[in-house]
Structure 1
Amino acid sequence: MNKSVLFGAMTVAALAAGAAAAGTLDDVKARGKLNCGVTTGLAGFAAPDANGEWKGFDVAVCRAVAAAVLGDATAVEFVPTTGKTRFTALASGEIDMLARNTTWTLSRDVDLKFDFVGVNYYDGQGFMVPKALGVSSAKDLDGATVCIQTGTTTELNLADFFRANNISYEPVPIETNAEGTQQYLAGACDTYTTDASGLASTRATFENPGDHTLLPEIISKEPLGPLVRHGDNEWGDIVRWTLNALITAEELGVSSANVSEMTTSTTNPEIARLLGSEGTLGEMLGLDADWAKRAIETQGNYGEIFAKNIGEDTPIGLARGLNAQWTNGGLLYSPPFR
């Protein structure tokens, strides 16, 4: 690690320690809104609509936390961040949490002093190419120019993959997905590589999505999830268990449509604890009894959020796959509410 990189990591860690000491829950309550870091724009995950209202799979996590903590899912200030700026924004306290299709890695968790509170999308890095290129495998990309976002896990994964397969490439560095899309469509690179979900989202915005194909290779594990600063465990617990509430709600059959009825009529003890009609889980978190109920009521359960924003009936068209509940052969599994 060179000195500038080491200094950068130390600076981020120092910022994080200072910001965490302040007590994020108190800050959010005093401010009356949640500052949530998101991407600069990725269809289905986080992007402003025609009216400037932020929508998407990651956006729903931010809104669920705001509903749980502030009682208002709209009380969110969305802060667009790039691959490079997202960690400094979190460490410095500019944002309270980051929900920006960010991969959980050891160095980010430990060296940068962040806590990943869970995984909201199990992903892997892939490649998109124009069909006209006539390539059917990433192993055919010897000598290719590759559009790649700087400051991301994709850079190292790309280098590892090409090295392992004894092929070469020329990187075309980009800062944002919008820039990557522009460069790729302009022919500045033969292939665009990022998380496969991101490629599907990007392709869905093209004028002719059918002219582009996602190659079959998935070259990495990319567990994407929300994160907070080290050292503020109370705030980390709130974000973690809000995400878990959305996942558990789907598993137990609690949805935005039936959550009110379930609160009073359920005979399932775990649903009663989740929705606050029994027990003191909200109190343990420093919240009221209806915190999880509000998150589910305003955003829907995990399955509803997935289907609405990125599912098979949307232009993004993603199947549940690994992101199905553990009861359906997927990896989604929340610890119990007890």
Structure 2
Amino acid sequence: MPFGEIVCGSPGSGKSTYCYGKHQLFSALNRPIFVVNLDPANDNIPYPCAIDISSLITLEDVMAEHGLGPNGGMLYCMEYLEANFDWLEERLKELGKDAYVLFDLPGQVELSTNHESVKNIVQKLAKLEFRLAAVHLCDAHYVTDASKYVSVLMLSLRAMLHLELPHINVLSKVDLIQQYGDLDFNLDFYTEVQDLSYLESTLSSVSPRFKALNMAICSLIEDYGLVGFETLAVEDKESMLHLTRVIDKATGCVFVPPPDAQHPPGTVQATDVPASQRPNTHALFTSAAGPMQGPRSDVRDVQERWVDAKEEWDAWEKTQWRQEGQMVQEAARKSKIRERGTKDKT
């Protein structure tokens, strides 16, 4: 069965950049991946696009033909895609049963929080046996302002309740967070969403008139206890790998053995069915409830990398890159010498 991600978020949160980075990462890991553009207004796609909704409908044509504005036209496009889902279904079947697909949604937040078309499309994808997770991107700079942070929490909670999928909220562009000023609390306060009462003094000083309303919203978010965040810096390999592991656990892809994977005898059924349909008992018992491992798995490491000691880490990484480049050049030089020696002998 195919796996995939519903990539959603507000405009400018980095959805297309994330899809491009994920495509590059999976290509380097030799994991097949396809990106589906479902934004009819996106005419500057950075990633290789397997399926493009503009082949079916474009926002510009809808606005011109029906006299709609950008938001109304976008809703019309999603309703049109829902009505013509067979167009998408046929093209998805061409990708194969083991496809890993990213669905890049438009930036209009009402599509993932209120409007029914995207939700209905997701349900139809589930009937096609897609194992999906929603990846909701939020710009990390919102955590530098208490009122904006509460708004992001409400938006994330609404998307979780509406889409009804395994859901990963992500603070994107965390590598740029230092540009927006100092944080009132450590980064783990914003990612774990444990005790929002600490925001009371800040919210009261900014808008004392709405103090009771703000705290009621915070109480509502805490009562649900659903919202939490991962962090993401697309250009950081470790950050992308950590988020990939989180998503793989959410979708169940972590339990699918690669075709060439070595496992203890008897743990993987040797059948002719696709890899995504073979059980992986070894992975089930070794990684199902285990903690996430890796350099960016602890948010305290993320804070040290991008907030507390960003300049020092940047300098260290540049040194590492320089050394790696020198090693590659030296290996290439030795390879040329060996080739030259072989030619001389012949």
| Pairwise same-fold verdict (TM > 0.5) | no
TM-score (normalised: structure 2): 0.30
Q: Which gives a bigger RCO, structure 1 or 2 (Cα 8 Å, sep 6+)?
A: 1
Instruction: Give the TM-score of the pair, scaled to structure 1.
Output: 0.31
Which is richer in helix?
Answer: 2
The higher radius of gyration belongs to 2
Q: Name whichever structure is richer in strand by fraction.
A: 1
